[in-house]
A and B are shown apart, each in its own frame.
Chain A
Amino acid sequence: MAVEPKNFGFGEDETMLRDSARKFMSDHCSTDKLHSLVASDYQIDRDNLCLWDQSLWQQIVELGWPAVCVPEANGGIGMPLVAAVALAEEIGKAGFPSPLLSIFNSTFVLRACDSAAAHQALASIAGGKTMTLAITNAAGSWHSDHTDVEVNKDGSLTGNAYFVQDARKCEQFLVSARGDKGVGLYLVDASASGLTLIPDSIVDLTRDQAHLSFSDVAAVEMASPGKGSDAIANAIPAILCIVSADMVGAGEWLLQTTVEYAKTRIQFDHPLGFFQAVKHPLVNVMLQIDNAKSLTYHAASAFDHVPENAERSARMAKSEASDMAVFSSSRAVQFHGGIGFTWECYVHLFFKRQMHNQVMYGDAKYQRTHLANSIMGPAD
Chain B
Amino acid sequence: MAAADRKDTTEQAEFRKQCQKWLKANHPGRPPVQLPQGALELSDPAALQWLQQWQKSAYDGGLIGCDYPLDVGGGGKENCQGIANQEMQKAKTPYLPNIIGMGMAAPTIFFHCQDEVKAELLPKLLSGEEIWCQGFSEPGAGSDLANQQTFAEKDGDNWVINGHKVWTSLAHFADWMILLCRTDKSDKYNGLSYFAVPIKAALGKGVTVQPLIKMTGQTGFNEVLFDNLVISDRYRMDDVGAGWKVAMTTLAHERGAGPLVTPASGGMAIEEESGVSAGNIGSLISLAKQQHRGSGRAADDASLRDEIMKLMIRQEALRQNSRRAGVPELTDHPMRIPLQGKLVGTELNQDIAETAYRIEGAASTLYVNDPNAPAAGQWPLAYMNSFGVTIAAGANEIQRNILGERVLGLAKSK
B-binding residues in A (CB < 8 A)? 3-8, 10, 15, 255, 259, 262-263, 270-271, 273-276, 278-280, 282-284, 286-287, 290-295, 297-298, 313, 316, 319-320, 365, 368-369, 371-372, 375-377, 379-380
Question: Which of B300, B313, B403 has most chain A Cβ within 10 Å?
Answer: B313
A-binding residues in B (CB < 8 A)? 2-4, 6-7, 285, 288-289, 296-297, 299-302, 305-306, 308-310, 312-314, 316-318, 320-321, 323-324, 326-327, 329-330, 336-337, 340, 343-344, 397, 400-401, 403-405, 407-413
Query: Contact between B404 and A290 (Cβ–Cβ < 8 Å)?
Result: no
Smallest CB separation, A98 vs chain B (Å): 24
Instruction: List the A residue with the shortest CB-CB distance to B402.
Output: A283
Beyond A313-B316, A320-B317, 10 additional pairs, beta carbon < 8 A: A6-B6, A283-B400, A294-B317, A295-B313, A319-B309, A320-B313, A320-B314, A368-B305, A371-B309, A379-B301
A319 to B329, CA, bound (A): 25
Within the complex, which residue of A275, A290, A320, A368 is in contact with B306, where a contact is CB–CB below 8 Å? A368
Query: Contact between B407 and A286 (Cβ–Cβ < 8 Å)?
Result: yes
A319 to B297, CA, bound (A): 25
The 6 closest A-B pairs by CB, nearest first: A273-B410, A294-B320, A291-B317, A274-B411, A279-B404, A368-B309
B contacts with A: majority SS? helix
Smallest CB separation, A294 vs chain B (Å): 4
Question: Which of B401, B404, B413 has most chain A Cβ within 10 Å?
Answer: B404
Chain B residues contacting A295 (CB-CB under 8 Å) are 313, 316-317, 320
Query: Contact between A379 and B7 (Cβ–Cβ < 8 Å)?
Result: no
Chain A residues contacting B288 (CB-CB under 8 Å) are 376
Q: List 30 A-B contacts (CB under 8 A).
A: A3-B2, A5-B3, A6-B4, A8-B324, A8-B327, A10-B327, A10-B330, A262-B410, A263-B409, A263-B411, A274-B411, A274-B413, A275-B413, A280-B400, A284-B400, A286-B403, A290-B337, A290-B340, A291-B317, A291-B318, A292-B317, A295-B316, A316-B317, A365-B306, A368-B306, A369-B306, A371-B313, A372-B306, A372-B308, A379-B301
Decide yes or no: A316 and B313 within 8 Å by CB, A372-B306, A379-B299 being known contacts: yes
A376 to B2, CA, bound (A): 23
Smallest CB separation, B16 vs chain A (Å): 14
Query: Contact between A279 and B300 (Cβ–Cβ < 8 Å)?
Result: no
Query: Contact between B410 and A282 (Cβ–Cβ < 8 Å)?
Result: yes
Chain B residues contacting A5 (CB-CB under 8 Å) are 3, 6
Query: Contact between A274 and B412 (Cβ–Cβ < 8 Å)?
Result: yes
Smallest CB separation, A140 vs chain B (Å): 21
Decide yes or no: A297 and B320 within 8 Å by CB, A282-B408, A286-B403, A320-B313 being known contacts: yes
Smallest CB separation, B183 vs chain A (Å): 32
Smallest CB separation, B309 vs chain A (Å): 4
Chain B residues contacting A7 (CB-CB under 8 Å) are 327, 329-330
Smallest CB separation, B307 vs chain A (Å): 9
Query: Contact between B403 and A283 (Cβ–Cβ < 8 Å)?
Result: yes
Within the complex, which residue of B285, B301, B410 is in contact with A271, where a contact is CB–CB below 8 Å? B410
Chain B residues contacting A4 (CB-CB under 8 Å) are 3, 6
Chain B residues contacting A286 (CB-CB under 8 Å) are 336, 403, 407-408
Query: Contact between A380 and B400 (Cβ–Cβ < 8 Å)?
Result: no
Decide yes or no: A10 and B413 within 8 Å by CB, A283-B400, A283-B408, A295-B320 being known contacts: no
Chain A residues contacting B314 (CB-CB under 8 Å) are 291, 320
Smallest CB separation, B330 vs chain A (Å): 6
A273 to B336, CA, bound (A): 18
Smallest CB separation, B143 vs chain A (Å): 13
Query: Contact between A376 and B410 (Cβ–Cβ < 8 Å)?
Result: no
Smallest CB separation, B40 vs chain A (Å): 25
Question: Which of B6, B400, B407 has most chain A Cβ within 10 Å?
Answer: B400
Smallest CB separation, B407 vs chain A (Å): 7
Chain B residues contacting A298 (CB-CB under 8 Å) are 316, 320, 323
Query: Contact between B6 and A10 (Cβ–Cβ < 8 Å)?
Result: no
Chain B residues contacting A316 (CB-CB under 8 Å) are 312-313, 316-317
Smallest CB separation, B287 vs chain A (Å): 11
Decide yes or no: A3 and B410 within 8 Å by CB, A319-B313, A372-B309, A376-B299 being known contacts: no
Chain B residues contacting A291 (CB-CB under 8 Å) are 313-314, 317-318, 320-321
A282 to B310, CA, bound (A): 20
Query: Contact between B7 and A6 (Cβ–Cβ < 8 Å)?
Result: yes
Smallest CB separation, B243 vs chain A (Å): 27
A287 to B397, CA, bound (A): 14
Decide yes or no: A290 and B336 within 8 Å by CB, A274-B411, A375-B309, A376-B288 being known contacts: yes
Decide yes or no: A294 and B312 within 8 Å by CB, A3-B6, A273-B408 being known contacts: no
Chain A residues contacting B336 (CB-CB under 8 Å) are 286, 290
Smallest CB separation, A79 vs chain B (Å): 16
Query: Contact between A15 and B329 (Cβ–Cβ < 8 Å)?
Result: yes
Instruction: List the A residue with the shortest CB-CB distance to B408.
Output: A259
A147 to B381, CA, bound (A): 51
A186 to B66, CA, bound (A): 61
Chain B residues contacting A297 (CB-CB under 8 Å) are 320, 324, 330
Smallest CB separation, B224 vs chain A (Å): 32
A369 to B410, CA, bound (A): 38
A126 to B326, CA, bound (A): 34
Chain A residues contacting B313 (CB-CB under 8 Å) are 291, 295, 316, 319-320, 368, 371
Chain A residues contacting B326 (CB-CB under 8 Å) are 6
Question: Which of B308, B318, B401, B411 has most chain A Cβ within 10 Å?
Answer: B411
Instruction: List the B residue with the shortest CB-CB distance to A365.
Output: B306
Instruction: List the B residue with the shortest CB-CB distance to A15.
Output: B329
Chain B residues contacting A368 (CB-CB under 8 Å) are 305-306, 309-310, 313
